[in-house]
Structure 1
Amino acid sequence: MQHTLTLHLVSEATGQTLDSVARACIAQFPNTEVKLRHWNMIRTQIQLRRVLRNIAADRGPVMSSLTDPALQADMEAGCISLQVRLLDVLDSALHFLADETGQKATGHPGGQYIMDDSYYQRIEAMHYVLSHDDGQETGGLNEADVILVGVSRVSKTPTCFYLANRGIKAANVPLVMGIEPPATLFETTKPVIGLTLDPERLIEIRRNRLTQMMPDRRPMENAADYAYIDLEKVQEELHWARRLCRRHNWPVIDVTHRSIEESSAAILELMESR
């Protein structure tokens, strides 16, 4: 039986942490349809009262990551008044760390979002990805933290951008059968990691890409389109790319059943082991 639920997420900052926690938990309840309502950057009583009015209009439990004690107290009182359940997702962790450190939490809103060295490292990594995407600027591959290679549409670019958000300079170089990769790829001292995909899944992604690029034209109307999404040719292309990676001792990650986050975690693990 399918259940429905409205879940309110109340955050003092961008709400990314709270959203990630909520989605990770929701995934464990496939028979429940959850509508998420986000209330971010809540830092004043006026803002909080507006949130509580909206909760009253669309009742549902509340997950909160407020750290300001006064706002926390008002949030709790408001939820009691509305008779909706409230979970403070940071409360247990903050008490745990306070006990371990012997210090009191500052209660400073958005304390994790500071423009420190790691922040500027992420910005620099993002600029690097932009200028080294899809085989651009191959002369700068030795400036990378990692280089991703693979045939077209195996998620190299989105994976690089995700890694950049972690402060990792990631370049990607497309592997095109019949075209020799740039010499700098074989000369670099930086880790090179291949990405691959199930051929049928890859064809599905490529077919959708062709449709988006040329909505008025059916795929396979010319030889190039045909080779791009023909099963036999795609299998040959993937086998060629794997052989190339094996020849140069580049590890390969199959991303068929992995999200971008999972693929990136595997890449970071390979980088650490190296």
Structure 2
Amino acid sequence: MQKILTLHLVSEATGQTLDSVARACIAQFPNTEVRLRHWNLIRTQIQLRRVLRHIANNRGPVMSSLTDPILQADMEAGCASLQIRLLDVLDNALHFLAEETGEEATRHPGGQYIMDENYYQRIEAMHYVLAHDDGQETRGLNKADVILVGVSRVSKTPTCFYLANRGIKAANVPLVMGIEPPEALFSTTKPVIGLTIDPERLIEIRRNRLNQMIPGKSRPEAVTDYAYIDLEKVQEELHWARRLCRRQNWPVIDVTRRSIEETSASILELIATT
């Protein structure tokens, strides 16, 4: 029987960092169902007392990223009185960096979420992705940091949006067999990267998409008579796209077993070495 664990995540800011750390760790314990309870933007003692009351009623260990010394002390005291384990995920890192830099940490809540140059760069990148999604505005490809190409439904768009959140201007251009790609794609000086995928996985994704679009097609097997999901034609389409990338010396990433985050990491690595 699978064990069930409630894990409380307490943060002064958006909780994204804490959530990422928790999920990365949880993935290593497949025999336990971990139910996350997020407590974000906790910046006053009144808010923290409310959180501790909820934790007392729904007991489980706590992971915290509180930086304010007073709140941190109250969190430790509250968990000790409840006899609940507490892990401060930032404390060791802050002490480590303080020793290395010789500087005391400011302990400013949400210090990474400031509206600086990097913030506005991310906003600009997001606007760029919106304007250059799915082959739009190909005249602006030379303003991109990277251009993704591939057949329909290989996760070009979500990958571009993820990259935009990292401040990367990413355009994407669909490759459609029988239709010549835009000339701007061949003349650009920006890095072009192809995305590919296993044909059976692609058919599964496309079939689900068609079922959502076509009224009355609610079952996965409902859509069958489309070249868009014919195995032989999909294989031919993918081979054609690969050959095009090979002719143009564009690197290709297989996304079949990759998350968008992993695909993006590979793209960033390729950009850095281009």
TM-score, L = length of structure 2: 0.97
Name the structure 1 match of 2:17. 17
Name the structure 1 match of 2:259. 259
Name the structure 2 match of 1:160. 160
Structure-to-structure mapping, 1:239-258, within 5 angstroms = 239-258=239-258
Name the structure 1 match of 2:115. 115
Name the structure 2 match of 1:269. 269
Structure 1 stretches of 4+ moved >3 Å:
none
State the AA in 2 paired with 1:148. L
Name the structure 1 match of 2:37. 37
User: How far is the alpha carbon of 1:43 from its aligned partner?
Assistant: 0.1
Distance in 2 of aligned mates of 1:119 and 1:67: 22
Structure 2 residues not aligned, in runs of 5+ = none
Distance in 2 of aligned mates of 1:167 and 1:161: 10
User: How far is the alpha carbon of 1:216 from its aligned partner?
Assistant: 1.5
TM-score, L = length of structure 1: 0.97
Name the structure 2 match of 1:235. 235
Distance in 1 of aligned mates of 2:215 and 2:70: 55
Distance in 2 of aligned mates of 1:2 and 1:113: 38
Distance in 2 of aligned mates of 1:61 and 1:143: 48
User: Does 2:108 correspond to 1:104?
Assistant: no
Q: Deviations 1:45-81 (Å, cap 9, x if unpaired)? A: 0100010000001000000000000000000000001
Distance in 2 of aligned mates of 1:104 and 1:5: 36
User: Does 2:92 correspond to 1:92?
Assistant: yes
Distance in 2 of aligned mates of 1:174 and 1:162: 18
Distance in 2 of aligned mates of 1:45 and 1:220: 59
Distance in 2 of aligned mates of 1:193 and 1:215: 35
Distance in 1 of aligned mates of 2:71 and 2:136: 49
Structure-to-structure mapping, 1:128-143, within 5 angstroms = 128-143=128-143
State the AA in 1 paired with 2:223. P
RMSD: 0.7
Distance in 2 of aligned mates of 1:220 and 1:8: 45
Name the structure 1 match of 2:207. 207
Q: Deviations 1:123-161 (Å, cap 9, x if unpaired)? A: 000000000000000010000000000000000000000
User: How far is the alpha carbon of 1:108 from its aligned partner?
Assistant: 1.1
Q: Deviations 1:68-126 (Å, cap 9, x if unpaired)? A: 00000000000001110000000000000111111111111111110000000000000
State the AA in 2 paired with 1:46. I
Q: Deviations 1:166-206 (Å, cap 9, x if unpaired)? A: 00000000000000000000000000000000000000000
Distance in 2 of aligned mates of 1:228 and 1:215: 18
User: How far is the alpha carbon of 1:215 from its aligned partner?
Assistant: 3.3
Structure 1 residues not aligned, in runs of 5+ = none
Distance in 2 of aligned mates of 1:16 and 1:38: 10
User: How far is the alpha carbon of 1:220 from its aligned partner?
Assistant: 3.6
Distance in 2 of aligned mates of 1:40 and 1:62: 13
Name the structure 2 match of 1:219. 223
Name the structure 2 match of 1:146. 146
Distance in 1 of aligned mates of 2:210 and 2:76: 52
Name the structure 1 match of 2:77. 77
User: How far is the alpha carbon of 1:219 from its aligned partner?
Assistant: 1.9
Name the structure 2 match of 1:52. 52
